[in-house]
């Protein structure tokens, strides 16, 4: 049942990855799931850039460099995480949104559609036994300096992926009844 899969979806961080490679076929399956997200006026605003291999090190070095140049007193621990976390992943899918050039929709709808694509990716990863995590460090505003981007395209985050030895157990939430108001009249 889909609800069981939804309840098992977790953020699995790079430090929890075991180093096993994710096949291109599995990544393509995850991207195909993303492509089936709902989208108002069929704008399909999601765009992805898949980073693997040596490019993971280059991405980490780039992010650490951007952070270092933008901070007066960069924190060494944050520099270390920005530099090393990408290399712990088997793949990173850079999450981008291509704004509709005709401004047919409010921007929040395009962001929401892209987020739904990421949720599809996350659920697909959960089903495939792949740990994943959506990271949105401040340096994403500078990703156009690392990747070629189209006019109107911007980065919304990094989707880290890696196999993990941890069990994807059902999470915890407060009861939905505490968050719902029924209006019947």
According to the model, what pLDDT value does residue 95 have? 98
According to the model, what pLDDT value does residue 99 have? 87
Question: From the CB of residue 115, how many other CB atoms can be counted at a distance below 10 Å?
Answer: 17
According to the model, what pLDDT value does residue 155 have? 97
Q: Is position 9 annotated in a ligand binding site?
A: yes
According to the model, what pLDDT value does residue 171 have? 81
According to the model, what pLDDT value does residue 169 have? 77
According to the model, what pLDDT value does residue 88 have? 97
Q: Is position 135 annotated in a ligand binding site?
A: yes
- Arch. (CATH architecture) of 8-179: 3-Layer(aba) Sandwich (3.40)
Q: Is position 173 annotated in a ligand binding site?
A: no
According to the model, what pLDDT value does residue 28 have? 98
Burial annotation 61-85 (CB, 10 A radius, 16+ → b, else e): ebbbbbbeeeeeeeeeeebebbbeb
Q: Is position 70 annotated in a ligand binding site?
A: no
Q: Is position 144 annotated in a ligand binding site?
A: no
CA distance 74 to 77: 9
Contacts of 101 (CB under 8 A, 6+ apart): 151, 152
Place of tokens 């309840």: 7
Q: Is the pTM of this model over 0.85?
A: yes
Q: What is the DSSP letter of 121?
A: H
- With a cut of 70, list the residues of the chain below it in pLDDT: none
According to the model, what pLDDT value does residue 184 have? 92
């Amino acid at each position: 049942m889909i609800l069981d899969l939804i309840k098992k979806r977790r953020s699995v961080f790079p430090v929890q990855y075991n180093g096993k490679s994710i096949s291109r076929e599995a990544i393509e399956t995850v991207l195909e799931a993303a492509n089936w997200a709902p989208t108002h006026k069929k704008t399909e605003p999601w765009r992805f850039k898949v980073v693997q291999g040596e490019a993971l090190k280059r991405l980490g070095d780039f992010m650490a460099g951007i952070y270092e140049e933008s901070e007066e007193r960069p924190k060494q621990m944050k520099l270390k995480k920005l530099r090393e976390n990408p290399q712990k992943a088997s793949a990173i899918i850079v999450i981008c949104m291509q704004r509709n050039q005709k401004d047919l929709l409010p921007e929040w709808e395009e962001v929401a559609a892209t987020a739904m694509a990421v949720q599809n990716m996350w659920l697909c990863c959960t089903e495939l036994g792949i740990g994943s995590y959506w990271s949105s460090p401040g340096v994403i505003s500078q990703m156009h300096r690392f990747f070629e981007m189209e006019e109107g395209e911007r980065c919304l985050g990094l989707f880290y992926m890696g196999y993990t030895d941890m069990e994807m157990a059902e999470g915890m939430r407060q009861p939905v009844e505490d968050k719902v108001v029924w209006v019947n009249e």
